[in-house]
């Protein structure tokens, strides 16, 4: 794989005009897709979310054209196993917040190496901290839009490898998500629970996949408020690049890697390596 190749609107090259609204206002969205043997994984989930998000933001994108560009981009760069980032911005328009005059969305594709860590949290478990940053209520809840300053500031709360991830609460003290992941818990009764994202957070692709196959496995999957003080049997985090990370340390407490977490982890890993 070439080092970080980039296409903009189907043309190789990593240059954007300073008038791009994604740069000026964060006016756009993105998908981060794990690529296995040159093919996007969880692809249907990613493209459905991208379409829904574009519709909600009122950004017109020719999805068929975009997906054809993705296929050509991965083939041209001999992607193998990698991370594909797809960014859609509203494009360029006049100065100011008014989006009138933005006639053409901009499609940005970039390819990156899979993340490498000296210690694999998926295998050995993740050490997690509670971040001080709080997530506010947002009409953009669920979307993976380009305004990610809350996550940037939360991730800046620790350096080095003391923690693998940080968890964020809302202003009521309920856990919402990780800086780059979604949260699941397994209750002592055996239910699978993930925070309700009606008011904040990102509805992750891996989260959706786990909810779907959890139901197929006959599990009771609930979306509800999750208090920051966790009295639960198992905890795990997930995203579409890293898969599932069992949580083994959080706020001075420790857990083993539970049987259900391990089963879900292996199921997701199989899907990401398909």
Backbone angles phi, psi at 34, to 5 degrees: -75, 135
Q: Are 7 and 108 in contact (CB under 8 A)?
A: yes
**Active-site residue set:** 32, 144, 177
Domain range summary for the chain, segments of one domain joined by +: 6-112, 121-272
**45-72 pLDDT per residue, tens:** 999 999 999 999 999 999 999 999 999 9
Helix (H) or strand (E) holding 271: helix 259-272
Helix (H) or strand (E) holding 56: helix 43-57
Fold (CATH) for 6-112: D-amino Acid Aminotransferase; Chain A, domain 1 (3.30.470)
What are the helix (H) ranges across 145-258? 149-155, 205-216
| Mean pLDDT split into 10-residue runs, the chain, 274 residues | 81 90 95 97 97 95 96 95 97 88 92 93 97 96 96 96 96 97 95 96 97 85 92 96 97 94 95 88
- What's the confidence (pLDDT) of residue 140? 95
DSSP state letter for 256: -
What are the strands, taking DSSP E only, across 9-47? 11-12, 28-36, 39-40
Rounded CA-CA distance 167/181 in Å is: 9
CATH architecture of 121-272: Alpha-Beta Barrel (3.20)
**120-141 pLDDT per residue, tens:** 999 999 999 999 999 999 999 9
DSSP state letter for 92: B
């Amino acid at each position: 794989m070439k080092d970080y190749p980039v296409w903009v609107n189907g043309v190789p090259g990593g240059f954007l005009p300073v008038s791009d609204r994604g740069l000026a206002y964060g006016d756009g969205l993105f998908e981060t897709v794990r690529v296995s043997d040159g093919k996007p994984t969880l692809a249907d989930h990613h493209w459905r979310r991208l379409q829904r998000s574009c519709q909600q933001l009122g950004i017109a994108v020719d999805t068929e054209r975009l997906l054809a560009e993705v296929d050509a981009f991965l083939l041209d760069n001999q992607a193998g196993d990698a991370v594909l980032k797809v960014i859609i911005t509203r494009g360029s328009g006049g100065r100011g917040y008014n989006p009138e005059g933005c006639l053409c969305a901009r499609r940005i594709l970039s390819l990156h190496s899979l993340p490498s860590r000296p210690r694999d949290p998926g295998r050995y478990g993740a050490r997690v901290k509670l971040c001080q940053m709080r997530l506010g209520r947002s009409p953009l809840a669920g979307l993976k839009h380009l305004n990610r300053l809350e996550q940037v500031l939360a991730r800046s709360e620790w350096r080095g490898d003391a923690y693998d991830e940080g968890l964020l609460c809302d202003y009521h003290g309920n856990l919402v998500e990780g800086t780059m992941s979604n949260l699941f818990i397994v209750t002592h009764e055996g239910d699978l629970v993930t925070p309700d994202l009606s008011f904040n957070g990102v509805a992750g692709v891996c989260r959706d996949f786990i909810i779907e196959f959890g139901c197929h496995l006959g599990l009771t999957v609930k979306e509800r408020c999750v208090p920051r003080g966790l009295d639960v049997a198992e905890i795990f985090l997930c995203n579409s690049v890293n898969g599932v990370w069992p949580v083994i340390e959080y706020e001075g407490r420790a857990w083993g890697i539970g049987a259900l977490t391990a089963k879900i982890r292996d199921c997701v890993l199989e899907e990401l390596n398909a």
